[in-house]
Amino acid sequence: MPNITFVQPTGEAVELEAAEGTSLMRAAVSNGVDGIVGECGGQAMCATCHVYVRPEHADGLSEVTEDEDEMLDCTVAERTERSRLGCQIAVGLEHDGIVVDVPSGQV
């Protein structure tokens, strides 16, 4: 099972194993990772599962779709070139070891 690490703004890191094919958001919410809300259950409709993907882990991720792009304009914390919605990233074995930063706020 792929391993994911969520790094909080405080620097505290939470490492967890996700079922293959699950989304970053779902993995975080079902493991109670602070700061990942996932209000809309994965419809790219709420922008509350915003994460910053570390550049070294960006390769091989699915492209940002138009829907995700417009929701990323609605994040509460600043959007950067590393911004993604966790619900739109399906975690495969090839992403084992991915590290993402949790933003300072989601709502």
Partner 1 sequence: MSATFHQTTVQRCPVHEGAEPSRLGAAVSGGTAPGESREAPVADWVTLDALHRDPFPLYRRLREEAPVHWIPALNRYLVTSYAACHAIEQDEATFSADERESLMKRAMGHSMLRKDNPEHQRDRDSYGKTLRPATIKKHWNGIFEQNYVDCLRRLKKAGPGADFVWDFAAPYAAENLRLVMGFQNATEADMQRWSQTMIDGTGNYADDPDIWAKSERSSAEVDAAIDEMLPYFKDHPDHSLLSGLASLPIPLEAIRANMKMTIGGGLNEPRDVLATTVWALLREPEQLEAVVADPSLHTAAFEESVRWVAPIGMYPRQVARDTVLEGIRLRRGDRVGVAIGAANRDPAVFEDPESFDIMRPKKPHLAFGGGVHFCAGTWVARAQVAQIAMPRIFDDLPGLRLDESSPAVAGGWVFRGMLEMPVAWD
Q: Which of 7, 14, 16, 77 is the binder for partner 1 (CB under 8 A)?
A: 77
* Closer by beta carbon to partner 1, 2 or else 72: 72
Q: Does 88 bind partner 1 (CB under 8 A)?
A: no
Candidates 14-22, 80-88, 92-100: pick the segment binding partner 1 (CB under 8 A). 80-88
Q: 82, 52 in Cβ contact below 8 A?
A: yes
6: phi then psi, degrees, rounded to nearest 5: -105, 125
Compute the least distance from the CB of residue 4 to partner 1, in Å: 16
Q: 88, 40 in Cβ contact below 8 A?
A: no
Q: Does 63 bind partner 1 (CB under 8 A)?
A: yes
Q: Does 17 bind partner 1 (CB under 8 A)?
A: no
- The residues with which 83 forms a beta bridge, in sequence order, are 52
* Closer by beta carbon to partner 1, 69 or else 96: 69
Tokens of 107: 């709502």
Q: Which of 17, 19, 76, 97 is the binder for partner 1 (CB under 8 A)?
A: 76
CA–CA distance from 5 to each of 14, 50, 57, 74, 76 (Å)?
A: 5, 14, 11, 24, 22
Candidates 12-20, 58-66, 93-101: pick the segment binding partner 1 (CB under 8 A). 58-66
Q: How far is 86 from 18, CA to CA, in rounded Å? A: 13
